[in-house]
Amino acid sequence: MEQELTRIGVSLPENLLEKFDEIITKRGYSSRSEGIRDAIRSYIRYYAWMSEVEGERAGTISMVYDHSQRGLVNSLLDVEHEFSSIIRSSLHIHISHDMCMEVLLVMGEGKEVKKVAEKIMTLRGVKHVKLTTIIPGEEI
């Protein structure tokens, strides 16, 4: 059964589009649209996985951000203080003059862990966020 397609417009920085074009070429996609559809499907799967994060969890939230973005560092600190009961430790490195990487070690209720990651994802200047969790004591 054929699905109806909807055309959308997306504004991207040139360097992001160039990197995306390189990837879709290497992966053999026939068009940007095909690559974008695949990326959106992946994002939806990741969101669904995050929605299932419940119960006691231990994990990491890794992020890359532009520390020169006005107000971002203060906003990140506000989030980290708000969730200080589940953020056990953090590691921070400078990737370049403007870019930083930070890893938060978290332990607590999965819904709260997810809430921290989602708050960070929405901050302007945050380029990448990845949440990884395990169930403490569970054999892998």
Which one of 3.30.70.1150, 3.40.50.720, 1.10.390.10, 3.20.20.80 gives the CATH number of domain 55-134? 3.30.70.1150
d(CA 57, CA 21): 37
* Single pTM value for the model: 0.70
What amino acid occupies position 5?
L
Domain span(s) for CATH 1.10.1220 in the chain: 14-50
Q: Tell me: the pLDDT tens digits for 26-62?
A: 889 888 888 888 888 887 777 766 667 788 989 999 9
CATH class of 14-50: mainly alpha
pLDDT for 46 equals: 72
**In this structure, are strands 87-94 and 99-109 parallel, antiparallel, or unpaired?**
antiparallel
Contact 111, 52 (CB under 8 A): no
Residue 140 has pLDDT above 70, yes or no: no
pLDDT for 104 equals: 98
Taking alpha carbons only, the member of 129, 86, 132, 88 closest to residue 109 is: 86
d(CA 95, CA 90): 16
